[in-house]
Amino acid sequence: MKVFKFGGASVKDAQGVKNVALVLESQGFQKCLLVVSAMGKTTNALEKVVHNYFDKLDYQQEIEKIKQNHLEISNGIFAAGHPVFAEISLFFDDIESFLRRNKSPNYNFVYDQVVSCGEMISSKILSEYLNDIQFTNTWIDARDYIKTDNFYREGNVNWEATEKNISKLDQSLCYVTQGFIGSEENNFTVTLGREGSDYSAAIFAYCMDAEEMTIWKDVPGVMTGDPQKFENVQLLSQISYEEAIEMAYYGASVIHPKTLQPLKQKNIPFFVKSFLEPKKSGTKIGNSEDAQKAESYILKENQHMLRISTRDFSFIAEQHLTQIFALLVKNKIKISLMQNTAISLELCLEDKYGQIDEFNSELQKDFQTELLKNVSLYTIRNAKLDDLNIFYKDKNVLFEQSSNKVIQVVTNG
């Protein structure tokens, strides 16, 4: 069994959906499972629906825009009167019905029930199209297979229940399913974190003992840097699990951080390839003596720098760190980089859920703080230490760390 994951860019329009079939034709459409993301910018659009719902703004109009976009894409694929049109309308009716009936004030819960619909619709469209052109497949609901806790927007997988469910799939068939989503014990939808479709593919691959897993992107593979952010980047043809895990941990956007560990556990080869050039080899991630360790650049934007010190000028001690970390967990804020001195703690933070101001206010009850928003974190792996002056040119460095040829720099802007 092979697992293929197609991201939103690969199915953003009718031509993209048709191109998926061409990719499958080049790879062989037998004994495979396809994991599909929401189409194009659908996730962003559905996030706006949730935002408008809680702000008492017109969310119905936003739903209608998303619906019309999907119908337009389908018009470029299916004949008039195809059953998929009624199914698409039903999905959007369900969103409106849920929001009309909902009594929960929990933003994250509502978010997961609404935003997850993007994957449901895109996978249904792709499945129907493939069946129409004789790429026979079965559409399955990922929520029936991937079980999680109720940590909405970043669910933790119940591996025992998930493996039991997925093991029931007939591996002689082909399937189309959704990325990004699972369900908790009461069968409410739980998403696996933003960009979590890669992780979904890895979960299926692990539980099915897949032969290999491939994610299809609009880039040639894993590069030594984002070509839109850095000059003279190169394709990495082969890297180790460990190298890829480190790159993902530091923020390389081409790989979701949670994706690699399940694959590494069972030594499942992982490929990153371009859906625009499917016959090219892309990047292979696995165990190999030929794995590359090239200098690579990673940029994480929209970070926040927070400097924390005690009000009585005493040292930052263990009890202070315990208090600070408890508040970080409470507000679902992640540390991208930290630096501790005798009298202060400097943190570079990632705030997915817009809680930084609340976190800062809670800290100020007991600490002095300085908050600087929208900073950037650069990471250089396998750094060539003799030519770093080029990298530092024109950068306003706020703080930095280096160890074992890994240099991290927080800059203002």
| Between 18 and 382, the higher pLDDT residue | 18
pLDDT, tens only, 195-229: 789 999 999 999 999 999 999 999 999 999 988 88
pLDDT of 313 reads: 79
Which pLDDT score is estimated for 413?
Answer: 66
Domains of the chain listed by start with CATH number: 2-217 (3.40.1160.10), 296-411 (3.30.2130.10)
Residue 88 has, within 13 A of its CA and on its CB side, a CA count of: 24
Kindly report each contact of residues 23-31 with a partner whose C-beta sits within 8 Å and lies 24 or more positions away, as own/partner. Answer: 23/216, 23/275, 23/278, 24/130, 24/135, 26/278, 26/279, 27/2, 27/214, 27/278, 29/135, 29/174, 30/174, 31/1, 31/2, 31/171, 31/172, 31/173, 31/174
- One-letter amino acid identity for 127? S
pTM over 0.85: yes
Report the alpha-carbon distance of residue 184 to residue 406 in Å, rounded. Answer: 39
Least confident of 65-79, 203-217, 229-243, 383-397: 383-397
Whether 374 has a pLDDT exceeding 90, the answer reads: yes
